[in-house]
Chains A and B, each alone.
Chain A
Amino acid sequence: MMTDDLSMQTCPKCGKENLTHMTRCVHCGNELEDLFSFDGQIELPDDENKDEPISNLPLFLEEMSNQTNLIDEDDSESDEDGEASPKSDPNAPDWLARVRERVRAEEDASGELTKGLKVIEEKLEDDNKEDSEKQYQAWLDEVRKDAEAEEEKRARRLRPSPVDDQGVPEWLRRIRALHPKEGETDEDNENFDEWTEEELEALRRQELGDDYVEESEPIEELEEDEPESDEKIVHNIPEDDEDLLPDREEKQNEATPPTDATEAEQEALSDDSQFVLLSETKLKAEEVFNTDALDGLLENTDDAKDEKAERKARAKEKEAIIQDLLILRGQHEKVALLKTLISDESRPPRTAGKTAEPKMTWTRLIIGLAVIGLLLLAILFLPSGTAKNPLPSMPQLRFARYLDGITPDKQVLLVMSYYSASAPELEALATPVLKQLDEKGIDWQAITLRMDGLWLAESLYKKAGLYDKMGLNTARFPVFLAGGQFAMLDMSINQKDKPAQSLLQENLPQLEDFDYVLLLTDSSLTVRGWLEQVAPNQDSLYTLAIVSQKEAVAIQPYFYSGQILAYLSGNQGLPDTETQAVLNQNVYKAGMAIILVLFVIAVFYNAKHGRLERPEIEVSK
């Protein structure tokens, strides 16, 4: 019945309330098998208060108990006149009965202790007679009130639960309310209880989702609650307990008179099997929270207090059900949130409540086109080689000095490792160096750590004016060193007197033949690999480097530690050479100026629009 109080159980894990028939906490998913009980199950009063001290004893009894602490319980029982003394136990042994009779017959036989007790009682009666009576009466009233409350509570428990009265299990009504089907007819509702075990299993799995654990016993017990036929529900409530049902239920049954056959069948069942047969009232999904129908059922009740209490109970139940439903929806939302987080894992964070403005898109496009246009204009129209760095850096100066110090009797190994995209920058830096080596008649060879170095070398030699001099099949054409850092280490430990140990690269130059190594690379990793794998094994080898601008910072520590004698990078080529003519310094600086201006504009623009505050990251549900 909707108006009944819900029997709740408290989850031991989260402390929140659940319906008694729940085998799993709807809040935290904790198993509640130990707390499981049927709706309408008779719960006998526990002896939980047995050991508790009677804190509500009247004052005179407390005083009496304090004063008679020294008196044995058997002796106290001998006082038959005291109001608080217990009655004689009919199961007491004969000798005790005889003693009690003698005590009653002979005053002296009661002994000193009994006399003392009597004196105490008389004294108490004299001193606190009126107060004692009042306190005792108040205590009796309180005990009676507690007993009535307990009786009422028991009666509520023994009432048919909402499941039983309406014929629709509690969980089923909740599920129907959660997923109401449009156009569901009464006929469909009547047949709705024809659930097979498989369907119920699937339904629970669908509702509980990941929290669902297949449990044999509780589920079986739950399934016992389900009606086996679509018309009648037999509840296992003894008639003795049925007497405790409120009159309102009888009136309700009268308000909805069953058919004659059904009534007769009910009476027969009641007489024969001591069980009550209640007619099943199907509840539609839309009627779960429809209080009008229940109000109609309550029209026959005369007691306004009962009606008010029922309304409160109904509201409480409704709130409990809604709370559970909200939790279920909350679980779905959590799942949706988790899915969203997983799907958005690699995406950039979205700012809170800020949507892209179409106006800004056009602004960005215009700014981007303006930047590209300015760069194109600078590339096309700015004269090259007019701007020279007035202050050569320390690595530049040292490189020039070491290059000048290389005599024709020295040998130089050129190690190439760079991408095609870095070729213009590195070729601009390496071309004057190669020219100077060639002019000085220094013998040099080249190896490449990358396959594309084979055709990049051709471009480099052509720019240095060496291609025509060398031809195609000279020893200065680079040798491909396959194997990366393994090959570097192999080359460094491969000794000249044991060439047979090298199995793969027969034409590999011997490092012992060289005095200088010139690294030409756009990767600091290559420089680091060379310095870590090769240089420690070749102490007499001096290392120079030509690197791209973006990697210059990464090799600066090697320069200041002396592992690299000198290096050239970016626009810091050899001083007083034609590097600037190859790499247009003006275009380079124009590009930097444009980026600088854009950067400043971006800072001020964002500051003006209040975007410099840290935005909250919105997580969409």
Chain B
Amino acid sequence: MKKIAPVIVAIVSALFVMAGIFFRESLGGWLSVALNWAIVLSGVALLLILARFLLTHIGYIARGRRGFIYSLVGVLAFLVTLIAGSIMGIDNPVYLKWISGIMRPLETALLGLIALVLATFSLKLFRERGWNALTLSFTVSAVLFLILGLGVLQAIHFGPLNQLIRVVEGLPMIGARGLLIGVALGGLMMAMRVLIGAERPYDD
């Protein structure tokens, strides 16, 4: 029963959502209720994650685990943000400015760091992987699109060249479309497996 009940709930939920979409006129209202339940559940899950985060890091601090200072910073930042937002309100301009002043430089620095790391690994790719079809194709495409990004070739204003550039610039879309088709097929298969109980992502 412990294993059958989640399967039954998952299958019934999936069938109900599908029925609500197909018969929106008659079941659309109930589908909205079910979706709101899902939103509430996801919010509760977020609370559980927060509780787990707090308990874990408070435990690290209490035990004096190595590197607990980071846990201390994390817990304090969370508590200060929570208390300030609760008192001042999340629409308060001062509160928003304060949060934005911290978040924006942090995330921008992180994005810049990611760019540098990606560039470094692209340069190290040859030494790690050698000279094979993957690295060769990567090198050709990278150099080609870097040159196209500079806009030097477009500035020539030569008709056939511009036509060729447009064709080349459309090549990535082919790969993206293939990825989307793969994602769609994978999602369809996963949904079918969940519907028949063969896939149980909610299981242990």
Interface residues of A (CB under 8 A from B): 348-349, 351, 387, 389-391, 419-424, 451-452, 454-456, 458-459, 472, 482-484, 486-487, 489-490, 493-495, 498, 501-504, 528, 537, 553-554, 556-557, 560, 589, 592-593, 595-596, 598-600, 602-603, 606-607, 611-615
Contact = CB atoms under 8 A, between A and B. Distances in A.
14 contacts: A391-B162, A420-B106, A422-B111, A482-B43, A483-B39, A498-B29, A528-B180, A556-B172, A592-B150, A593-B146, A596-B143, A598-B123, A599-B146, A611-B126
A501 B29 contact: yes
Contact of A598 (B111, B119, B147, B155): B119
Contacts of A419: 107, 111
B139 interface: yes
B130 A456 contact: no
B127 A595 contact: no
Contacts of A613: 130-131
Contacts of B96: 454-455, 458
B197 interface: no
Given A458-B96, A482-B43, A486-B42, A554 B176 contact: yes
A493 B28 contact: yes
A420 B103 contact: yes
Contact of B122 (A422, A589, A599, A600): A599
Contacts of B127: 351, 606, 611, 615
B100 A490 contact: no
* Residue of B104, B147, B154 with most partner-chain A CB within 10 A: B104
A589 B150 contact: yes
Interface residues on B, range: 35 or more
Contacts of B20: 493
Instruction: State the main secondary structure of chain B at its contact with A.
Output: helix
Contacts of B24: 493, 537
Given A452-B99, A557-B173, A611-B127, A599 B151 contact: no
A531 B132 CA distance: 38
B7 interface: no
B33 interface: yes
* Interface pairs A-B: 7 shortest CB-CB: A614-B130, A483-B39, A612-B131, A455-B96, A421-B107, A421-B111, A420-B104
A459 B100 contact: yes
A611 B130 contact: yes
Nearest to B111: A421
B189 interface: no
A455 B99 contact: yes
Nearest to A424: B108
B157 interface: yes
B160 interface: no
Contacts of A420: 100, 103-104, 106-108
Contact of A504 (B36, B108, B123): B36
Contacts of A387: 151
B38 interface: yes
Given A602-B124, A603-B139, A613-B131, 16 more contacts: A420-B103, A420-B106, A421-B108, A451-B90, A455-B96, A456-B100, A483-B39, A490-B36, A493-B24, A553-B173, A589-B150, A598-B119, A602-B123, A607-B131, A612-B130, A613-B130
A487 B38 CA distance: 9
A502 B39 CA distance: 12
Contact of A351 (B32, B97, B128): B128
A349 B128 contact: yes
B129 interface: yes
Contacts of A484: 42
